[in-house]
Amino acid sequence: MKKLVLSVLSLALTASMNSSFAQLAPGSFAPNFTVTAYQPWLSTAGQNGNGTYTLYDYLDAGYTVILDVSATWCGPCWNYHLTGALDDVYINHGPAGYPGVSASTTDDVMVIWIEGDGATADATMLDGSGSIGNWIEPNTALGQIPFPMANPASATATQINNDFEIGFYPTIYRICPNRIVEEVGQANAANLYASIADCPAPASQPNDPAILSYEGGTKSCGPIDLVVRLQNNGTTPLTACTITATQGGNTIATFPWTGNLTTYAVQDVTIGQFTPTASSQTINISITSTDANAANNAVSQVVGLATTANSGNVTVKVSLDRYGSETSWRILRSNGTVAYSSPTYTNATANGTYPQPDITTFLGNDCYKLEVLDSYGDGFDSGYGNGLVEVWVNGVKIAGVSDFPTGSEAEDAFQINGVAGIEEALTTSFGVYPNPATDVVNVTFEAMNADYAVALIDLQGRVMTSANYTALNGSQTIEIPVADFAKGSYIVTVTSNGVATTKNVIIK
């Protein structure tokens, strides 16, 4: 998980962005934009007639676009600018006939640089106040930058930051002709150009449906929805195709999709369900109707049956990398409610792996999802240390996420199926805090879809306060106001189906 490098001049702006955005997830669909080059000489060079650059114009023409969103006050942006990587790519692979592009260009890449801070004045691009240097002519070796560098108005810059979820500068994307985005980072020229080989060929046939990715579940206690992202890679609208899923050579679902997708439009399609019977099973999904390009018709995904534990006494083990503040996790019940969520973590001062105190809790019978989130968008294991979040029961790991190198979210699933009933759940999960208490006593327990009564009783057996609750299920926290009671020792009771559990509490 990366450290955001901030300039004092724009700390507030970038901190605000980082609280909302990380980066577009790989495989996202690029929104369109139009910007105008700051360099005056490009406005008369015949590029779209007036020096304006529209993303989809280049994608539609078959170019892969390298997009760099930077800021003139950003040190890492400036250092990358000075490497000349984007210059090299543009000169040797940019659009034929454009200023600065080699006569022997491969003619398959466009480079666009955008100033992401909408408060930047045009003069700043030429080493004005607040800039690190002259961005248009950074040094004699590079000379005048040949590719377009845009300093859009504040509203346009904000829209681009929002659309592309810019959470840090520089953010460098590769955008394929089919609009699919991948964050490629501060790569050298050779690696930038090599990355375009991952882009599918531009649309050239009338009928060419493509499966971009698998978007469904991967582990479950029951049926998994099989979902794929369908794209029209054809030159005419896609109105129908057949998608088939197989496992072990057997057909498990066939879906005759119909709709209307224009060229490069995408849609997530649920083609059926599959119930895993083992921890690892490979699902193959493909377009089985006739089309012009079979090379983009298929995707495979490993899915599995969630591990089952026979006790609800759960231990969560966590290790963080250097930037622990970016990590959070939660355990979700099958109905989507939160059974447990992580505390707030802090950063360390050096790269490394930082084990955290184990967390113990009690979970009732259910199928649970462990969801691990990274607010920065680069996952664990990004060169800053190795992280993990694991769920253990009786010394056995039943679920976990570790070392996912990219992305903002990863998940696993597990099942608790050994809690015998209300008595076990109450005995194991019942808690009272704070103790001693002054104003409020919090009573916690795991409910098992039943009616419960909660009471506070003094040592003479008198009921000081009580309440009844109907059809409770899952983790409960019930507040008992105690400010008006005399100081001393009391008993908290929780009763359900004739089973009563008690704990002592002191009011001071």
d(CA 309, CA 397): 10
- Burial of residue 481, with CB atoms counted within 10 A of its CB: 0-12 exposed, 13-18 middle, 19 or more buried: exposed
Q: pLDDT tens digits for 56-71?
A: 999 999 999 999 999 9
Please determine whether the domains at 308-416 and 422-507 fall in the same fold group of CATH: yes
Phi and psi, residue 81, nearest 5°: -55, -40
Give the residue from 62, 167, 172 showing the smallest Cα distance to 114. Answer: 172
Judge whether residue 383 has pLDDT over 90. no
Summarised one tens digit per residue, pLDDT across range 107-162 is: 999 999 999 999 998 888 887 778 899 999 898 888 889 999 999 999 999 999 99
- Judged against a pLDDT cut of 60, whether residue 12 lies above it is answered with no
Location of structure tokens 């299920």 = 473
Predicted local confidence at residue 11, as pLDDT: 33
At 445-482, the pLDDT tens digits run 888 878 899 999 999 999 999 999 998 888 889 999 99
**Biggest CA-to-CA distance, the chain:** 97
Mean per-residue pLDDT for 239-250?
A: 97
Query: Mean pLDDT over residues 1-21, rounded?
Result: 36
- Region of poorest pLDDT, from 112-116, 170-174, 415-419, 435-439: 415-419
User: What is the pLDDT of the chain when averaged over all its residues?
Assistant: 88
Q: Where are the domains of the chain?
A: 8-198, 209-305, 308-416, 422-507
Q: Which of 257-261, 414-418, 503-507 has the lowest mean pLDDT?
A: 414-418
What is the reported pTM?
Answer: 0.71
Looking at the domain covering 308-416, what would its CATH class be? mainly beta
Can you give the C-alpha Rg of the chain in angstroms? 29
Per DSSP, what are the bridge partners of residue 409?
373
SS3 197: helix
At 269, list the tokens: 């399609």
Cβ atoms 404, 412 nearer than 8 A = no
CATH 2.60.40.3080 is right for the domain spanning 422-507: yes
In this predicted structure, what is the pLDDT of residue 395? 92
- Give per-residue pLDDT as tens, 341-381: 999 999 999 999 999 999 988 888 889 999 998 887 667 76
Within 220-347, where are the H helices?
none
CATH topology for 209-305? Immunoglobulin-like (2.60.40)
Residue 300 burial class via C-beta count within 10 angstroms: exposed 0-12, middle 13-18, buried 19 and up: exposed
Name residue 242's beta-bridge partners.
Answer: 256
CATH class of the 8-198 domain in this structure: alpha beta
Region 176-193: what's the mean pLDDT? 94
- Spatial strand order of the sheet with 149-150 comes to 28-29, 180-183, 171-175, 64-70, 109-115, 149-150
| Residue 433 tokens, joined | 């805090």
Residue 6 has pLDDT above 50, yes or no: no
pLDDT digits (tens, 9 = 90+) for 154-179: 999 999 999 998 888 999 999 999 99
Is pLDDT at 21 greater than 80 in this prediction?
no
Predicted confidence (pLDDT) per residue in 294-326, tens digit = 999 999 999 999 999 988 889 999 999 988 998
| 3-state SS string for 122-190 | HHHHECCCCCCCECCCCCCCCCCCCCCEECCCHHHHHHHHHHCCCCCCCEEEEECCCCEEEECCCCCHH
Residue 208 sits at the vertex; the CA angle it makes with 202 and 212, to the nearest 5 degrees, is: 75
